[in-house]
Amino acid sequence: MVNRITFVVPGDLATPSGGYAYDRRLIAELQSRWQIDVVSLGDGFPQPSAEQRAAALARLESLRDGIPVVVDGLALGALPEAAQKIARRAPLVALVHHPLALETGLSPADARKLFDSECKALAAARSVIVTSRATAKRLSDDYDVEPQRITVAAPGTDRAAPAEGSADGTLRLLSVGAVVPRKGFDVLIAALASIAELPWRLTVAGDLARAPATVSQLQADIARHGLAGRVNLLGAVSPQRLGALYQSADLFVLASHFEGYGMAYAEAMAHGLPIIGTTGGATVDTVPPTAGVLVEPGNVNALSRALRMVIENEGERRRLARGARAAAADLPSWETTARIVASALERLS
């Protein structure tokens, strides 16, 4: 009978990102069932330096035998040898938010290296937890993970009051996500630049420290297009501040190249916001056509057309807002997510 679990994460569990938010909420829910020992492997993942790798391996060597180990995929995929060692000492569970090799901006060599590494690590796991059906299919088709080893546990979504929006005739657009290449903020700014004559303002809430070069280029793009007075890069914000941003928004937009689930999309739907996004990864499973308009990732013209259509058409915004609220009613709670994960863990016994 499982009564204690070791939960291994890279870096700081308090990091403001969807993956870490999933880990935090899952741990909080599971603590009502088991004792959870949280172990941090330090920074640098998924491409740690030699020193960071050595420190992480030392921490993993110190884990107690026989206690199930859940390892966040951001770290596990980069440590295949450690995964094999852990699996010989205890039941190993991989938690995959999205495959590492699909991160935007990687060189072909780095992407191949991460793919091979993650394949080996996943082969050692007794169970693999993923956050979407799309990721489950990807791991089954491309990473040779048998479907019977995979459990889909979509993130929970907290219920929220409908957004109030603006009242001054200028639409408030909200985008939530760390400013990294995968989130496609360069594509979003290019699309908005082409509809600069329309009444909108954009707020971006997301970590500005993870990819400094991407942030610098985004700031340059904003200035080059003359949008400095209309785009606000807030950086990471508190949950309370983020909730207020959702409440005051009229439209949610995110131009991600790939999403393993898309927690920000789900949160926006919970606030009844019409969605404009992309078809990258699992977003098509998260956002139904009744709640949003999804376009091909990286397609500036398609994104521009979608933005224009929704910004200019109040009736369309209302229709999508109704669809978002209806879709949000079917999203799982964190209690449900934890129950699914708990069932997978109990099967390890």
**Per-residue pLDDT tens digits for 244-280:** 999 999 999 999 999 999 999 999 999 999 999 999 9
User: Over 90: is that where the pLDDT of 26 sits?
Assistant: yes
pLDDT tens digits, 49-59: 999 999 999 99
Please state, in angstroms and rounded to a whole number, the distance separating the CA atoms of residues 68 and 79.
17
Nearest alpha-carbon partner for 51 in 41, 62, 39: 41
Q: What is the 3-state secondary structure (H, E, C) of the chain?
A: CCCEEEEEECCCCCCCCHHHHHHHHHHHHHCCCCEEEEEECCCCCCCCCHHHHHHHHHHHHCCCCCCCEEEEHHHHCCCHHHHHHHHHHCCEEEEECCCHHHCCCCCHHHHHHHHHHHHHHHHHCCEEEECCHHHHHHHHHHCCCCHHHEEECCCCCCCCCCCCCCCCCCEEEEEECCCCHHHCHHHHHHHHHCCCCCCEEEEEECCCCCCHHHHHHHHHHHHHCCCCCCEEEEECCCHHHHHHHHHHCCEEECCCCCECCCHHHHHHHHCCCCEEEECCECHHHHCCCCCEEEECCCCHHHHHHHHHHHHHCHHHHHHHHHHHHHHHCCCCCHHHHHHHHHHHHHCCC
How many CA atoms does the CB half-sphere of 23 hold within 13 Å?
30
Contact yes or no for 65/40 (Cβ under 8 A): no
Please state, in angstroms and rounded to a whole number, the distance separating the CA atoms of residues 205 and 191.
18
The whole-number average pLDDT for the span 273-289 is: 96
Q: Per-residue confidence at 81, pLDDT binned at 50, 70, 90?
A: very high
Which domains, ranges and CATH numbers included, belong to the chain?
4-156+332-346 (3.40.50.2000), 171-328 (3.40.50.2000)
Nearest alpha-carbon partner for 85 in 119, 58, 50, 47: 58
pTM above 0.75, yes or no: yes
C-alpha torsion sign, points 204, 210, 215, 217: negative
- How would you class 279 by CB atoms within 10 Å of its CB: exposed for 0-12, middle for 13-18, buried for 19 or more? middle
Query: What share of the chain in percent tops pLDDT 90?
Result: 97
Please state, in angstroms and rounded to a whole number, the distance separating the CA atoms of residues 294 and 278.
4
Contact yes or no for 190/255 (Cβ under 8 A): no
Tell me what the pLDDT averaged over the chain comes to.
96
The whole-number average pLDDT for the span 154-165 is: 96
Contact yes or no for 321/272 (Cβ under 8 A): yes
User: How far, rounded to the nearest angstrom, does the alpha carbon of residue 200 sit from its chain's CA centroid?
Assistant: 26
Write the CB contacts of 229 (distance below 8 Å, at least 6 apart in sequence): none
Please state, in angstroms and rounded to a whole number, the distance separating the CA atoms of residues 328 and 286.
10
User: Over 90: is that where the pLDDT of 3 sits?
Assistant: no
Q: Per-residue confidence at 118, pLDDT binned at 50, 70, 90?
A: very high
pLDDT at 349: 73
Question: How many CB atoms sit inside 10 A of residue 3's CB?
Answer: 10
The whole-number average pLDDT for the span 94-108 is: 95
Please state, in angstroms and rounded to a whole number, the distance separating the CA atoms of residues 157 and 54.
37
pLDDT at 2: 67
pLDDT at 301: 98
Look up residue 275 and give its two tokens. 């969605």
Q: Per-residue confidence at 1, pLDDT binned at 50, 70, 90?
A: low
Look up residue 65 and give its two tokens. 């035998």
Residue whose tokens read 């956050």: 131
